[in-house]
Amino acid sequence: MLKFDEFNKLIKDFNSIADFLIIYIEEAHAADGWAFKNNIVIKNHRSLEDRKIAAQFLQKNNPLCPVVLDTMENPSSSKYAALPERLYVLQRGKVIYKGGVGPWNYHPQEIRAILENMTKRKTSE
């Protein structure tokens, strides 16, 4: 995630009112596919074990929330149009925010505004 530190800050600031989760999906820029120069070398996942190993690169950044793996059928990636990365806010099982496709349209500050608004509503009740 391009703005990983900003995402972790959201978790620190709002973990009392929201649950956070990272779903590690299929690799968008695999070394044996459509790769960027100077990117981390991760090949396309051929098994769940490959995906688990790739997710360990993310774990080294110390995410402050759980990281789970999408299955090899990629249902989370497909259902949420998440490739290469995307932010969502769900409330009571409904999507209330669908962010743009990352990394260029990945805006954690929009999540911050939503969570701040939720905090204000909660304290005024």
What is each CA distance from 16 to 11, 59, 69, 101, in whole angstroms?
9, 22, 24, 27
Give tens-digit pLDDT for 93-102: 999 999 998 7
Give tens-digit pLDDT for 10-59: 999 999 999 999 998 877 654 444 544 555 656 576 788 988 888 888 88
pTM: 0.78
Domain that holds residue 95: 4-124
CATH number, domain of 31, equals 3.40.30.10
Task: Name the percent of the chain lying above pLDDT 70.
Answer: 83
Give tens-digit pLDDT for 61-79: 899 999 999 998 989 988 9
**What domain count does the chain have?**
1
Q: With the C-alpha atoms ordered 7, 51, 86, 123, is the resulting torsion angle positive or negative?
A: negative
